Amino acid sequence: RWVAPIQASSRLVTEDTELGGFDIPKGDTVMTIQASANRDEELYEDGESFLVFRDKNPHQAFGNGPHHCAGAHVARRTVGKIILPMLFDRFPRMALPKPEEVVWKGFGFRGPINLPVVLN
């Protein structure tokens, strides 16, 4: 949720629509910014902070509706149930000593280009 791999996506408006007091005509293209939605302070207390023990909550990290990521369930199971537990078992004191040194790149697709962890 905090830094989702998909930051934004565009959609074609299929019928005249009114949203938040704005008229959006059929045929226009709109951009959804999941990065912003995933940090909405009305939905997430302290939404700008990465809190690893935050209660489970809905988010847009994998999109939604007909454009929901087809691999979301595989990603959650593989990373959350297999890879991370194995990594933490093997390196129980793993640390990210200088989070400010992590470099993030990309807008449509976003992720770290480096992740300088210490494996103890």
CA 103-105-109 angle, 5° bins: 140
36 domain-assigned: yes
105 domain-assigned: no
- Residue range 61-74: average pLDDT? 73
pLDDT above 90: residue 34: no
pLDDT above 70: residue 24: yes
The better pLDDT of the pair 31, 51 is held by: 31
- Residue range 54-63: average pLDDT? 70
What's this model's pTM, rounded to 2 decimal places? 0.52
Residue 4 exposed, middle or buried by CB count within 10 Å (0-12, 13-18, 19+)? buried
List the domain range (segments joined by +) for residue 44. 9-92
28 domain-assigned: yes
| Domains in the chain, number | 1
The better pLDDT of the pair 39, 114 is held by: 114
pLDDT at 60: 65
69 domain-assigned: yes
Percent of residues, the chain, with pLDDT higher than 70: 88
CA 97-52-31 angle, 5° bins: 105
pLDDT, tens digit (0-9, with 9 covering 90-100), for 88-112? 999 999 999 998 999 988 877 778 8
13 domain-assigned: yes
pLDDT above 80: residue 65: no
83 domain-assigned: yes
115 domain-assigned: no
Q: Return the H-helix or E-strand segment holding 23.
A: strand 22-24
pLDDT above 80: residue 48: no
Query: Which residue in 62, 71, 69, 70 sits closest to 34, CA to CA?
Result: 62
99 domain-assigned: no
Count CB-CB contacts under 10 A for residue 37. 18
